[in-house]
Amino acid sequence: MAIFSARLFFFFPILFGHGIFELEASHHIYQTLQNLDEFASATSQPHRTGYHFQPPKNWMNDPNGPMIYKGIYHLFYQYNPKGAVWGNIVWAHSTSRDLVNWTPQKVAIYPSQPSDIDGAWSGSATIFPDGTPAMLFTGINPTGQQVQNLAMPKNPSDPYLLEWVKSPKNPVMAPTPENQINASSFRDPTTAWLGADGRWKVVIGSRINRKGLAYLYRSKDFVYWIKAKTLLHSAEDTGMWECVDFFPVSVNSSVGVDMLSILGPNVKYVFKASLDDTKHDYYTVGEYDPVKDVYTPDEGSVDGDSGLRYDYGKFYASKSFFDSAKNRMILWGWINESSSVSDDIKKGWSGIQAIPRVIWLDKSGKQLLQWPIKEIEMLRTNAVHLPRKVLQGGSVLEVPRVTAAQADVEITFKVSHFRKAEGLDPSWTNPQLLCSQKGASVRGSLGPFGLLVFASKGMQEYTSVFFRIFKGQNKYVVLMCSDQSRSSLNPDNDKTTYGAFVDVDPVHEHLSLRSLIDHSVVESFGGQGKSCMTARVYPILAINEDAHLHAFNNGSKSVTITRLSAWSMKKANIN
Ligand SMILES: *[C@@H]1O[C@H](CO)[C@@H](O)[C@H](O)[C@H]1NC(C)=O
Ligand SMILES: *[C@@H]1O[C@H](CO)[C@@H](O)[C@H](O)[C@H]1NC(C)=O
Ligand SMILES: *[C@@H]1O[C@H](CO)[C@@H](O)[C@H](O)[C@H]1NC(C)=O
Ligand SMILES: *[C@@H]1O[C@H](CO)[C@@H](O)[C@H](O)[C@H]1NC(C)=O
């Protein structure tokens, strides 16, 4: 369904507020910034990633409008063409056939209309029933208001979708005195969905004072949008909701569900908000009433900081999309730097994207599971499989023959000696705080045990990702930590320790950990993807060939490694 003709757009010249450019609707004003030869390669830097997506230089933040179109995966992202700090934001664009190797394309969306002249901010793709994509995104108008805009591909027969044209009706949603929307807190439209009533629905994040809001809009033609009287969802004391996301999940299968094919009895819903206050992505699992257009989290599924997070380290402004080629829901998320701004300027870049994760509902129905896309395994090479081994308390086991600065490792532990587990003090409810008080060097009984990544030869530097097991009221409690306190001799990095509880029963299940290690990032998946934790670290000694990988156990009781497989990872074309 081509809702409006792209030809409409060719005739309106627009005067930039700055009076610098006069723009024809064809997109050429940032031509110099689109010249990829101008990207000075920073490839010899030790902290640039080998297989995590990042542009050759400059600032990147939120993933935008991810989708698959005519067999090509698209990623757009918030990008500053002029430097390594936030500013001058445009939608940069890359395409891929496998979600691993990426080809940079020219900038897709940049300020060109009054409704986005001061910024082309985040948004989402919607695929119409006839297969045509549309993009809704936030623009900043000359009075600084946040408004929502529509763009369509100029040539839908081009699988690369290089040219985008904006609707002359923009903005298609805006704050007004009547609707009482806070004009500086109204952004990041979701993917829209088509209701059985024939109307499109879309959600936009906002706030009133400390209350986080998800405004719902409806439209018959995708151009003329009306704000609903009711909110899709809201929650007290959560602050501004950025990059809200809303999608169905199957209750009994890991297969993804397309928003357009919803409404089965075997479907639940996930609502995610990126909390501006804490810079983490939180989600709940619940029910959606498609008549009232209201979402209600299940009992026990809590909004905000005491609820569940996609990732307990660095992972923000995430966005999901339904991969119709492989029937799975895929999650993209931005991983910010932990280096100082002056170091970012020195290295000339800031921000990477997490490896895309497949997400589905755990069989408990209470939380999501996340796992790196299968395709990333195409980069695995030189497999190292170590035999089953008892790891005595206080010991370290080096994983040999692996490029430890660019690796994928899976380790599984079997624990016994449960009677010796430390008691869990009922006041220890904050796992991150507990991890920071009980880092890798604080010896326990059952744990800490796990991996030492980016370790220097003399152990002056290492990042530890590990478990501890405590005896709770009527079950054993598993804590997962990522301890960055000794990750680098550079004192200028944010070395906050991250922590989460993992909902596994260590008596009956083995405890697994997978880490994707890539020069300055370690993405860890505990309990087969039940708790995820991403850290940025910038070792000075443990770089390239000088990085080492170990398993370790700093508890007093032994644990058994039942599986340890590690792979050197090949480089991907990451742009
Ligand atoms: C509107 O949003 C701005 C920017 O986040 C915030 O400073 C202000 O407090 C908000 N006003 C209300 C009433 O929430
Ligand atoms: C999920 O359960 C429903 C009934 O409860 C059934 O009809 C459907 O086939 C199941 N799907 C899978 C993938 O098991
Ligand atoms: C980015 O990193 C800095 C330093 O670690 C941190 O203070 C800030 O909250 C982070 N922002 C996001 C969006 O993750
Ligand atoms: C294990 O604990 C000891 C004693 O606190 C400490 O010296 C050592 O650094 C720890 N090992 C690791 C890998 O943190």
> Which amino acid is residue 387, in one-letter code?
P
User: Could you tell me which residues come within 8 angstroms of residue 162 by beta carbon, excluding any fewer than 6 positions away?
Assistant: 93, 105, 106, 108, 155
- Residue at 172 is within a domain: yes
Whether 308 and 414 share a structural domain: no
Residue whose Cα lies nearest atom 3 of ligand 2: it is 266
* Residue 558 CB neighbour total at 10 angstroms: 17
Whether 413 and 327 share a structural domain: no
Q: Taking Cα atoms as reference points, which of 229, 129, 123 lies closest to residue 170?
A: 123
- Residue at 306 is within a domain: yes
- 304 phi and psi, to 5 degrees? 90, -160
Tens digit of pLDDT per residue, the chain (575 long)?
Answer: 333 333 333 333 333 333 223 233 333 333 334 334 334 445 579 999 999 999 999 999 999 999 999 999 999 999 999 999 999 999 999 999 999 999 999 999 999 999 999 999 999 999 999 999 999 999 999 999 999 999 999 999 999 999 999 999 999 999 999 999 999 999 999 999 999 999 999 999 999 999 999 999 999 999 999 999 999 999 999 999 999 999 999 999 999 999 877 666 799 999 999 999 999 999 999 999 999 999 999 999 999 999 999 999 999 999 999 999 999 999 999 999 999 999 999 999 999 999 999 999 999 999 999 999 999 999 999 999 999 999 999 999 999 999 999 999 999 999 998 999 999 999 999 999 999 999 999 999 999 999 999 999 999 999 999 999 999 999 999 999 999 999 999 999 999 999 999 999 999 999 999 999 999 999 999 999 999 999 999 999 999 999 999 999 999 999 999 999 999 999 999 98
d(CA 391, CA 556) in angstroms, rounded, equals 10
Number of domains in the chain: 2
Whether 367 and 386 share a structural domain: no
CATH of the domain at 27: 2.115.10.20
- Residue at 575 is within a domain: no
- Residue at 448 is within a domain: yes
Whether 385 and 367 share a structural domain: no
CATH of the domain at 493: 2.60.120.560
Q: What is the DSSP letter of 14?
A: E
Rg of the chain (C-alpha set): 24
Q: Which of 250, 253, 261, 360 for mutating ligand 2's site (highest number of atoms within 8 Å of CB)?
A: 253
Secondary element (H or E) of residue 482: strand 476-483
Q: Which of 250, 252, 268, 328 for mutating ligand 2's site (highest number of atoms within 8 Å of CB)?
A: 252
d(CA 310, CA 282) in angstroms, rounded, equals 6
Whether 352 and 458 share a structural domain: no
**How many CA atoms lie less than 13 Å away from 456 in the CB half-sphere?**
14
- Residue at 508 is within a domain: yes
User: Across the strands, what pairs with 568?
Assistant: 381, 407
Ligand 2 centroid to 202 CA: how many Å? 28
Domain endpoint, select from 327, 342, 372: 372
- Residue at 574 is within a domain: no
Whether 386 and 363 share a structural domain: no
CB of 209 closer than 6 A to ligand 1? yes
Whether 274 and 388 share a structural domain: no
Domain endpoint, select from 349, 372, 395: 372
Ligand 2 centroid to 323 CA: how many Å? 21
- Residue at 41 is within a domain: yes
Whether 341 and 413 share a structural domain: no
SS3 375: helix
- 540 phi and psi, to 5 degrees? -100, -40
Q: Which domain holds residue 156?
A: 2-372
Whether 435 and 500 share a structural domain: yes
SS3 8: helix
CB of 449 closer than 6 A to ligand 4? no
Ligand 4 centroid to 554 CA: how many Å? 6
Domain endpoint, select from 345, 372, 399: 372
Whether 399 and 346 share a structural domain: no
Please classify residue 491 by burial: count the beta carbons closer than 10 Å to its beta carbon, then call 0-12 exposed, 13-18 middle and 19+ buried. Answer: exposed
Whether 410 and 344 share a structural domain: no
* Residue 480 CB neighbour total at 10 angstroms: 29
Whether 342 and 419 share a structural domain: no
CB 217 within 8 A of CB 225: yes
Positions annotated as catalytic residues are: 62
- Residue at 283 is within a domain: yes
